[in-house]
């Protein structure tokens, strides 16, 4: 039997579910009357981890954002995974907004999670490993308590718990 059990705290987006949500949003936009003859466009840049939304004006852009949010929630994609940029003018009188898609824990968030686990007085250790935090403990009950503790605290990012051993 192992003397140390562990799990990883990560923050990732299921890209396939995000693509499905964006496809559904695009389909709804094409069918809606208020978007008829508009220059609305949703682009997912996977390599740059960006979501670009272009529309005729700010009002339509906000409506598109709401549609995307609704579809993401239905598909189980957390809205905390997006960092919205500012609305900026684009070509032909349109407006554009770029949203960064979170991949991995930023170092400051990882430090915050590690500090919170250490301050929780649970019998586990937390250590930062790149863009994830590994939590180690002698018994599985302490790890379950650590997962429950992390779920009830809001760190401003979407957390998943993987590699449970």
Instruction: Tally the residues of the chain.
Output: 165
pLDDT at 38: 84
Per domain, the residue ranges of the chain are 5-12+104-162, 15-101
With 90 as the cut, is the pLDDT of residue 14 above it? no
**Fold classified for 15-101:** Alpha-Beta Plaits (3.30.70)
With 90 as the cut, is the pLDDT of residue 102 above it? no
Q: Give the pLDDT mean for 69-91.
A: 88
Query: What pLDDT band is residue 2 in, cutting at 50, 70 and 90?
Result: low
Q: Which CATH class is domain 5-12+104-162?
A: alpha beta
Q: What is the mean pLDDT of the chain?
A: 87
- Identical fold for domains 5-12+104-162 and 15-101, yes or no, is yes
Q: Give the pLDDT mean for 95-104.
A: 88
User: Rounded CA gap, 8 and 31, in Å?
Assistant: 42
Kindly report the number of other CB atoms within 10 A of residue 25's CB atom.
21
pLDDT at 66: 93
pLDDT at 94: 87
Q: Which tens digit of pLDDT belongs to each residue from 137-160?
A: 888 888 888 888 888 888 888 888
Query: What pLDDT band is residue 37 in, cutting at 50, 70 and 90?
Result: confident
In our burial notation (b when 16+ CB lie closer than 10 A, e otherwise), range 74-104 reads ebebbeebbeeeebeeeeeebbbbbbebbee
Burial class (CB in 10 A: 0-12, 13-18, 19+), 148: exposed
Q: Give the pLDDT mean for 34-53.
A: 88
């Amino acid at each position: 039997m192992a003397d140390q059990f562990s799990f990883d705290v990560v923050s990732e987006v299921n890209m396939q579910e995000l693509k499905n949500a964006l496809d559904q949003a695009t389909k709804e936009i094409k069918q809606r009357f208020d978007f008829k003859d508009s220059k609305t466009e949703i682009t997912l840049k996977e390599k740059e981890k960006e979501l670009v939304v272009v529309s005729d004006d700010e009002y339509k852009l906000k409506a598109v954002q709401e549609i995307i949010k609704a579809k993401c929630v239905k598909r189980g994609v957390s809205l905390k995974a997006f960092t919205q940029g500012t609305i900026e003018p684009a070509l032909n009188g349109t407006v554009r907004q770029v949203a960064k898609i979170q991949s991995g824990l930023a170092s400051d968030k990882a430090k915050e999670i590690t500090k919170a686990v250490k301050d929780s007085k649970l019998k586990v250790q937390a250590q930062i490993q790149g863009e994830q935090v590994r939590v180690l403990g002698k018994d599985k009950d302490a790890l379950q308590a650590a997962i429950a503790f992390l779920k009830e605290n809001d760190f401003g990012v979407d957390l998943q718990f993987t590699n449970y051993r």
